[in-house]
Structure 1
Amino acid sequence: MDIELARTFIEIVSTGSFIRASERLNVAQTTVSARIRNLEQQLGRALFIRHKGGASLTPAGEQFLRHAPMFVQLWQRTLHQVAVPPGRRAVLTAGSEVSLAQPLLLDWVRWMRSSLQDIALRVHVDVPQDLINQVASGMVDLAIMYAPPHRPGLKIDLLLEEKLVLVTTNSEARLLDESDYVYMDWGPDFGLHHGMNFPSAAPDLSFDLGPLALSYVLATGGSGYFRMSSVQPHLEAGRLHLVPEMPQFSYPVYAVQSASADESVVGPALAGLHSVARGETKL
């Protein structure tokens, strides 16, 4: 089977639409339709029911979904293994969301280079939706993510519980001051709890990238909710201050991998990642 057929099938399931899958794959919709026709002919079964809202799986499609990710993952791992550099036993592609690249991903990469020297590394940073797709397809072996969606064929491990805290450049602040408040969109769970605690808040500036929002606050002054690990150095240096008695929100960090990953490679890397996340390693 052409691996692009299975990959196209997975994209349609993920997006719920032939049109959105064609956009994600950067190919024409007719190409997506032709690939699915080819796949259905090879399997001898219809896989999708198309309707105005998009596409839904037939019973045969539901069955094929159990196997398609494994086809793609096996192919990606095969490509990795035939490209192993001399002197290394395997290649691991490690990924993270942008906001987790510093310091967690960087510290993990440093640990890998000193502790697992027989494993070659590829390091990749991306947005959450693309990153989870890359893990599901086998392009990324192990990724660090916030709130990853559960999918068939993925294994998700809790790494640590981050705290989102309200910080400000004004050392006298005691409440959330809307005049200089920068809203950082940490996802739907944060939005729900933020709205419950601050029902009247209507910030006129918002970001969807934590490091950028924090840089703005440090450069121009103001306040906002940020990860404790990212603001700790600024708190110690006096550039930021915790706003007392303000609610703090949980923001857990997870490691995501394929359930069929090569444990001889991913296992030691994941163990090291847990140690780095707990602060147990010396770099």
Structure 2
Amino acid sequence: MDIGIARTFLEVVKTGSFVGAANNLHLTQTAVSARIRVLEEQLDRPVFIRNKAGAKLTQAGEQFLRFATTLVQVWARAQRAVALPPGRETVVTVGAELSLWSPLLRHWLLWMRRECAEIAVSTHIEASERLMEQVQDGTLDVAVLYAAPSRPGIIAELLFEEKLVLVRTTPTNARLEPEDHVQIDWGEEFAASYQAAFPDQPNAVVSISYGPLALDYILATGGSGYFRKGFIRPYLEEGRLAVVPGSPEFSYSAYMVHSTKADPGVMDRVRAGLHAAAAIAI
């Protein structure tokens, strides 16, 4: 079985169409169709029903789906095992959202170096949706992200629950205008909760998708915004920021996500390191 064919099959399943799969894989639609045709010839039965709405799995396709996922994951693990650095037992590939790297993943990397020197580590930064896709297709062993969606064959373990708090720059007697509030993208759930809590708040003049950049901005110009409590704790202690009294707090949970087929022993060590890092960072 050509792994490229299995990946193409999974991409058609994910996008629901040959066109979408071709775009994501940077192939022509003809090439995607040819790969699926080869697969169907090898299985001696169709795996998709094609129509104007896209592509839907046949019963045979449903059966092949779990095997295709396993094939791709096993191949990815085999590639990493063959490329092991000298003196290492295995390699673990971990991805995370950008906002989680500092300080959580930095502490985790230091913990792994100290406690699990026999494990090689490969790390990546991606958007949450892409991280989930990479865990599903076996490219990643573990993803650390907020608001993990439910996916078949994937386990999402609560890593920690953090709070988003409204803070402002000091001195607190300095007047701030509504346009001094910076809107930070903490996901759809936060946006809905924020809108419910502040229905009369005008649209933000400045919106920033990355928390650390938003923090640098308000520290330079003065202003307010919602931030992860653990991240801004040093600024609260230094007196550069202050929590706005009476403001609502919002839950913001982080998850460790991995395949049900992941090596339990490796996951135990990764999990222990992440919990140790969370105890320091949060």
Q: Give how far 1:173 is off.
A: 6.9
Q: Give how far 1:174 is off.
A: 11
Question: 2: CA distance between counterparts of 1:94 and 1:113?
Answer: 14
Q: Which moved more, 1:150-159 or 1:271-280?
A: 271-280
Q: Which residue of 1 aligns with 2:266?
A: 265
Structure 1: segments with no counterpart, 5+ residues: none
Q: Which residue of 2 aligns with 1:42?
A: 42
The aligned runs of 1:239-278 (5 Å cut-off) are 239-278=240-279
The aligned runs of 1:198-213 (5 Å cut-off) are 198-201=198-201, 202-213=203-214
Look up the equivalent residue of 1:76 and give its one-letter code.
Answer: A
Q: Which residue of 1 aligns with 2:145?
A: 145
Partner SS for 1:179: helix
Partner SS for 1:278: helix
Q: Give how far 1:185 is off.
A: 1.7
Question: 1: CA distance between counterparts of 2:265 and 2:105?
Answer: 21
Question: 1: CA distance between counterparts of 2:150 and 2:27?
Answer: 27
Partner SS for 1:50: strand
Q: Give how far 1:112 is off.
A: 0.2
Contact preservation (8 Å) 1:135, 1:143: yes
Look up the equivalent residue of 2:114 and give its one-letter code.
Answer: S
| Structure 1 residues 106 and 49: CA distance shift in structure 2, 3 A | same
Look up the equivalent residue of 1:73 and give its one-letter code.
Answer: Q
Question: 2: CA distance between counterparts of 1:173 and 1:60?
Answer: 68
Q: Which moved more, 1:99-108 or 1:176-185?
A: 176-185
Question: 2: CA distance between counterparts of 1:178 and 1:70?
Answer: 52
Contact preservation (8 Å) 2:157, 2:257: yes
Task: Please provide the CA RMSD for this pair.
Answer: 2.1
| Structure 1 residues 6 and 238: CA distance shift in structure 2, 3 A | same
Look up the equivalent residue of 2:262 and give its one-letter code.
Answer: A
Q: Which moved more, 1:220-229 or 1:52-61?
A: 52-61
Paired residues in the alignment total 280
* TM-score, normalization by structure 2: 0.92
Look up the equivalent residue of 1:16 and give its one-letter code.
Answer: G
Q: Give how far 1:176 is off.
A: 9.0
Q: Which residue of 1 aligns with 2:81?
A: 81
Partner SS for 1:66: helix
Contact preservation (8 Å) 2:22, 2:28: yes
Structure 2: segments with no counterpart, 5+ residues: none
Question: 2: CA distance between counterparts of 1:176 and 1:146?
Answer: 30
Contact preservation (8 Å) 2:135, 2:143: yes
Q: What are the Cα deviations for residues 185-217 of structure 1, in whole angstroms up to 9, with x where unaligned?
A: 211111111111111222232222222222222
Does residue 17 (structure 1) correspond to residue 20 (structure 2)? The answer is no
Look up the equivalent residue of 2:149 and give its one-letter code.
Answer: P
Question: 1: CA distance between counterparts of 2:24 and 2:37?
Answer: 19
| Structure 1 residues 124 and 169: CA distance shift in structure 2, 3 A | same
| Structure 1 residues 90 and 170: CA distance shift in structure 2, 3 A | same
Question: 1: CA distance between counterparts of 2:170 and 2:229?
Answer: 17
Q: Which moved more, 1:146-155 or 1:204-213?
A: 204-213
| Structure 1 residues 228 and 60: CA distance shift in structure 2, 3 A | same
Q: Which residue of 2 aligns with 1:186?
A: 186
Q: What are the Cα deviations for residues 66-100 of structure 1, in whole angstroms up to 9, with x where unaligned?
A: 22211111000011111111111111112211110
| Structure 1 residues 23 and 273: CA distance shift in structure 2, 3 A | same
Q: Which moved more, 1:55-64 or 1:174-183?
A: 174-183
Q: Which residue of 1 aligns with 2:6?
A: 6
Question: 2: CA distance between counterparts of 1:26 and 1:101?
Answer: 29
Q: Which residue of 2 aligns with 1:228?
A: 229
Partner SS for 1:206: strand
Look up the equivalent residue of 1:49 and give its one-letter code.
Answer: I
Contact preservation (8 Å) 1:175, 1:246: no
Question: 2: CA distance between counterparts of 1:206 and 1:35?
Answer: 44
Q: Give how far 1:177 is off.
A: 5.0
Look up the equivalent residue of 1:254 and give its one-letter code.
Answer: Y
| Structure 1 residues 53 and 167: CA distance shift in structure 2, 3 A | farther
Question: 1: CA distance between counterparts of 2:25 and 2:64?
Answer: 20
Q: Which runs of 4+ in 1 moved over 3 A?
A: 50-54, 173-177
Does residue 166 (structure 1) correspond to residue 159 (structure 2)? The answer is no
Question: 2: CA distance between counterparts of 1:9 and 1:128?
Answer: 22
Look up the equivalent residue of 2:26 and give its one-letter code.
Answer: N
Q: Which residue of 2 aligns with 1:100?
A: 100
| Structure 1 residues 228 and 53: CA distance shift in structure 2, 3 A | farther
| Structure 1 residues 174 and 44: CA distance shift in structure 2, 3 A | farther
